Structure 1
Amino acid sequence: MLLTSRRLRAALLATAAATMLASAPPAPEPLGIGDPLFPHLGNPGYDVLSYDIAFVYGGSNTKPLDAITKIDARTTTRLERINLDFTNGTVKRAEVNGADATFTTVGEDLVLTPAQPVDAGRKLSITVTHTSDPSGPKGAGGWVRTTDGLAMANQADAGHRVFPCNDHPADKAAFTFRVTAPSTLTAVANGLLESRTASGSNTTWLYRTSHPMATELAQVSIGTSTVVGRAGPHGLPLRDVVPTADRALLEPWLKRTPGHIEWMESKVGRYPFETYGVLVASAATGFELETQTLSLFERSLFTRSERERWYVDSIMVHELAHQWFGDSVTPRAWADLWLNEGHATWYEAVYAEEHDKKSLEERMRLAYTRSDGWRASGGPPAAPKPAKGGQQLGLFRPIVYDGSALVLYALRQEIGAGAFDRLERAWVSRYRDANAGTADFVRLASQTAGRDLSAFFRGWLYAAKTPRMSGHADWRSDSPTATADRTAKAAQPEAAR
């Protein structure tokens, strides 16, 4: 059959349009790396090497900050589009490898389309000009508004509420922060201060990390603060950031940090970073947080008279212990959270026993009593139930704290104190500055003990019921209902994360 020229032209145009449609990339969509607890966190196709983030703070903690985020990465697959995690800000411009890129937002992803696809194994340089809004939903994380400025609390999934990023701990990177603020204020961030430059009524502070860091551990503090410096073990530079008016009030607590570090080093080896310090925020967060090299604490932890000295001491040690367990050795997936919180709780409890005669065995016996109930409500330590939507802090349940420290107590009972101590030192040494998960810990524990511990860990980390405790045949765990009732009545006013 012959077609007229008009009909032929129309048919050719239709065929061309169909071909173009078939070859076009799918519509932009939010992506993730498949973490069961946070399925849309992280993005496939690239590995971030470094972030360089500039914030301009105008003096009001209710108004968006102007910001520029630069990301250097390397592609692991050919990318026609590049997804970043980002929300709570307005994107003004985006560039990929020096050329303008189009962009759109889908869910909590910022999706960039570069001028040319980027092949696998190539350099990926991204620049996003945006705002960063501190007035997001209360309790959602990200910026924390203090009485005098801002601080950050990005755990577990809120780094992308502050800056565009690959917001999953599996992708650690180097960080540089450039913070411009009125010269009457002090800006502090992770790492070491490299420069401070005044220009007119503003000052720009430049901080850089010496070790890779997960996005959830980023910290920037801006406010009427004083930075208190002192020397730690081996000349380690310590800097505490406190409200200026509270400098003298807080000194009795601040001066305890060198001793805390010495004690932790006696347990697991050399402190893993370039500096450490305590950031005291005038804000009601309900938790403390192990942001890398600068742990975040509520002011009320140190100033409320009902807080006993041993309790405050042990919480300070908890956040310090995280610098080894969680910050230096970072989980591969959020289900590995028990390795972070279990270890921090363990050293918190051991410190309280050694310095304040608070029995570790009694604490673990109580945890054993409640363990079945914690497992029923929150899942076993290495297979936690997801938090409810919009309530990500619900992941931080008793099972990941004392319930996971109980696993370490059981392990020490199983392999002996000597092997346990060797394992702890080997863990933070072998995986320093890296990611490691539950399978890695099980494998290293088996190597250290000289026998396969898979069955032991299977019961303690994944079973619905708590296994029998070696050496304590008389220990019993209450019913889940009894534990739930008791937990509701004795809810802790704050938590150490």
Structure 2
Amino acid sequence: MLLIRPTRPHPAPRLLRRPKAALLASAVTVCLVAAGAPAEPLGVGDRIFPDLGNPGYDVAAYDLAFTYPGSNDKPLKAVTTIDARLTSSLNRINLDFAHNTVESVEVDGREAAFTSAGEDLVVTPDHALPLGSVTRITVRHTSDPVAVDDQEGGWVRTTDGLAMANQADAAHLVFPCNDHPSDKAMFTFHVTAPNGYTAVANGLPTGTVKAGGTTTWSYRSQHPMATELAQVSIGHSAVVHRAGPHGLPLRDVVPAADKKELEPWLAKTPDQISWMESKIGPYPFETYGVLMAQASTGFELETQTLSLFEKDIFTEPAYPKWYIESVMVHELSHQWFGDSVSPRTWSDVWLNEGHATWYEALYAEEKGDHPLQDRMKAAYGASDRWRTAGGPPAKPKPPAPGQKIGIFRPNIYDGAALVLFALRQEIGKDAFERLEKVWVRENRDTSVGTADFVRLASAIGGRDLTGFFQDWLYGEKTPPMPGHPDWKQVPPPAPAGSAKKS
């Protein structure tokens, strides 16, 4: 995710999301309540979001079917089908799901009991599920954009329809799932909408079917995906097709009325992909595109193969051209860092945002004459303040209650990019660039952690870098910058009207 932060130079800052109210109690309808011990919410124990994700199974595939009623203030009817392999013997299956109504649940084609516990949907099949078995769970439910309006993500209501913004922990507000990036899966989407609307989702189209006054659009991913990266766009949209490098199919989704005005920005993507490929290797997915939504979110988001942007960023005169292009590259670079190579835990998110910020800044240097070193020196000066406020890059402070987006603070953006700058200084430019290419190649389509990056950097750097990373990623204070002993922390400005001390 890229928040438009007030630390950016030149353009007037866009507002960060305001703190939201605490999550409402789950509205999952309780029906066919299972007998026995009370159902309990579970989680995989993530330090940041301990209640999300669920133990005991690994999702292989999601099939999501949404029926849009033609209004973005009414619930969608939905059917979620999950194919999963059991990693433990289970009598119950916990799914992350909240703020919607469940109509029925089936496990392997047979009706199953279900109830809610916290933000979990707890399913009790009529038979035990043994270790190693493969099971199919089918949930018929609603998916309500209004129910999640006060939350940090989920459905985003646009002026003409809907889009998704599930990062970091909001996919379970849209569909039942194992809502943690450590459990990636294949996705198929079927979106039914009244004729006149266009629906687009992650992956490649597999067909459309018209029936009376509606059209069903289907898409399928070719690579596994984390739930937080799912995207469905429904609106009065134009889909613009072009060829990218090596014949890569590109498709952008824009408001139909603005297609001509936005085309100059869309036309930049092929060259941006080529630039990224020159730095880190082949683009990792089957397609790419930009989704320009008529909505006010306060951020852009790297949803897999179809990055979400506010349309206004491209039409607001206050933003200079170089800045907008670097933001586009930030989200594009996430397709490698964060999407193809996903974080194992949310404390590893610095690997996503630090790398995306790095290539954003490198692009601005090479294409916009804004030196990366100047940006890194400024980041160094603020780094201790960022660590105090938000935690070190690889140990971000958990969000305050009701502030789910709170982990996306400056120290996992420019602060994490600063770690990469220090690493390049430490091991040299050639070794650093080799590390980047090997990292994305060897970890494609997986979820990995900080320790994996440290091991690979040590191997390529030719020495144990554990101590280096310990200081830079987890220290309360910023270490000296290799090669720049003159770089210092910059104290915050004194409050207006305060007396100076001698």
Q: Structure 2: how far apart are the matches of 1:246 and 1:464?
A: 48
Work out which of the residue numbers 379, 401, 408 in structure 1 matches 2:420. 408
Q: Structure 2: how far apart are the matches of 1:247 and 1:108?
A: 40
**What are the superposed Cα offsets for residues 327-370 of structure 1, whole Å, 9 maximum, x if unpaired?**
00000000000000000000000000001110100000000000
1:297 corresponds to: 309
**What are the superposed Cα offsets for residues 48-93 of structure 1, whole Å, 9 maximum, x if unpaired?**
0000000000101000000000000000111111000001210000
TM-score by length of 1: 0.92
Helix, strand or coil: the match of 1:171?
Answer: coil
1:491 corresponds to: none
- Whether the 8 Å CA contact 1:445–1:453 is kept in 2: the answer is yes
2:98 corresponds to: 87
**What are the superposed Cα offsets for residues 105-141 of structure 1, whole Å, 9 maximum, x if unpaired?**
1111000000011011111110000000000232421
Deviation, 1:483, is 7.3
**What are the superposed Cα offsets for residues 15-34 of structure 1, whole Å, 9 maximum, x if unpaired?**
xxxxxxxxx85310110000
Deviation, 1:385, is 0.3
Amino acid at match of 2:82: I
Amino acid at match of 1:308: P
Query: Are residues 123 and 483 of structure 1, via their aligned partners in 2, closer, same or farther at CA, if it must alter by over 3 Å?
Result: farther
2:52 corresponds to: 41
Amino acid at match of 1:296: L
Instruction: Give 1:355-370 correspondences, 5 Å limit.
Output: 355-370=367-382
Deviation, 1:401, is 0.3
Amino acid at match of 2:322: W
Does residue 30 (structure 1) correspond to residue 55 (structure 2)? The answer is no
Work out which of the residue numbers 61, 82, 103 in structure 1 matches 2:72. 61
Helix, strand or coil: the match of 1:351?
Answer: helix
List gaps (5 residues or longer) in structure 2. 1-34, 497-502
Amino acid at match of 1:388: A
2:343 corresponds to: 331
**What are the superposed Cα offsets for residues 152-204 of structure 1, whole Å, 9 maximum, x if unpaired?**
00000000000000000000000000000011000000000010111101000
**What are the superposed Cα offsets for residues 391-425 of structure 1, whole Å, 9 maximum, x if unpaired?**
11111000000000000000000000000000000
Amino acid at match of 1:169: P
List gaps (5 residues or longer) in structure 1. 1-23, 487-497
Helix, strand or coil: the match of 2:216?
Answer: strand
Does residue 214 (structure 1) correspond to residue 226 (structure 2)? The answer is yes
Amino acid at match of 1:315: V
- Whether the 8 Å CA contact 1:58–1:182 is kept in 2: the answer is yes
2:141 corresponds to: 130
Q: Structure 2: how far apart are the matches of 1:140 and 1:329?
A: 24
Deviation, 1:97, is 1.3
Which one has a larger percent helix, Structure 1 or Structure 2?
1
1:13 corresponds to: none
Work out which of the residue numbers 264, 281, 291 in structure 2 matches 1:269. 281
Helix, strand or coil: the match of 1:393?
Answer: helix
- Whether the 8 Å CA contact 1:325–1:339 is kept in 2: the answer is yes
Deviation, 1:485, is 7.3
Q: Structure 1: how far apart are the matches of 2:289 and 2:220?
A: 15
Does residue 421 (structure 1) correspond to residue 445 (structure 2)? The answer is no
Instruction: Give 1:237-386 correspondences, 5 Å limit.
Output: 237-386=249-398
Amino acid at match of 2:481: M
1:438 corresponds to: 450
Query: Are residues 414 and 485 of structure 1, via their aligned partners in 2, closer, same or farther at CA, if it must alter by over 3 Å?
Result: farther
1:489 corresponds to: none
Identical columns (%): 65
Query: Are residues 47 and 475 of structure 1, via their aligned partners in 2, closer, same or farther at CA, if it must alter by over 3 Å?
Result: same
Does residue 143 (structure 1) correspond to residue 152 (structure 2)? The answer is no
- Whether the 8 Å CA contact 1:84–1:111 is kept in 2: the answer is yes
Name the Cα RMSD after superposition.
1.1
Amino acid at match of 1:111: V
Computing the radius of gyration from Cα coordinates, the structure with the larger value is: 1
Q: Structure 2: how far apart are the matches of 1:154 and 1:483?
A: 36
Helix, strand or coil: the match of 2:130?
Answer: coil
Work out which of the residue numbers 126, 146, 166 in structure 2 matches 1:115. 126
Deviation, 1:225, is 0.2
Q: Structure 1: how far apart are the matches of 2:493 and 2:114?
A: 50
- Whether the 8 Å CA contact 1:374–1:483 is kept in 2: the answer is no
2:487 corresponds to: 475
Helix, strand or coil: the match of 2:83?
Answer: strand
Helix, strand or coil: the match of 2:399?
Answer: coil
2:206 corresponds to: 194
Helix, strand or coil: the match of 1:427?
Answer: helix
TM-score by length of 2: 0.91
Q: Structure 1: how far apart are the matches of 2:378 and 2:425?
A: 16
Query: Are residues 37 and 103 of structure 1, via their aligned partners in 2, closer, same or farther at CA, if it must alter by over 3 Å?
Result: same
Q: Structure 1: how far apart are the matches of 2:188 and 2:494?
A: 44
Helix, strand or coil: the match of 2:103?
Answer: strand
2:31 corresponds to: none
Helix, strand or coil: the match of 2:122?
Answer: strand
Deviation, 1:281, is 0.2
Q: Structure 2: how far apart are the matches of 1:66 and 1:220?
A: 14
Deviation, 1:484, is 10
Q: Structure 1: how far apart are the matches of 2:132 and 2:105?
A: 21
Amino acid at match of 1:398: P
Helix, strand or coil: the match of 1:70?
Answer: strand
Helix, strand or coil: the match of 1:194?
Answer: strand
Deviation, 1:390, is 1.9
Work out which of the residue numbers 170, 177, 183 in structure 2 matches 1:165. 177
- Whether the 8 Å CA contact 1:373–1:484 is kept in 2: the answer is no
- Whether the 8 Å CA contact 1:370–1:483 is kept in 2: the answer is no
Q: Structure 2: how far apart are the matches of 1:417 and 1:276?
A: 29
- Whether the 8 Å CA contact 1:83–1:112 is kept in 2: the answer is yes
Helix, strand or coil: the match of 2:277?
Answer: helix
Larger RCO (alpha carbons 8 Å, 6+ apart)? 2
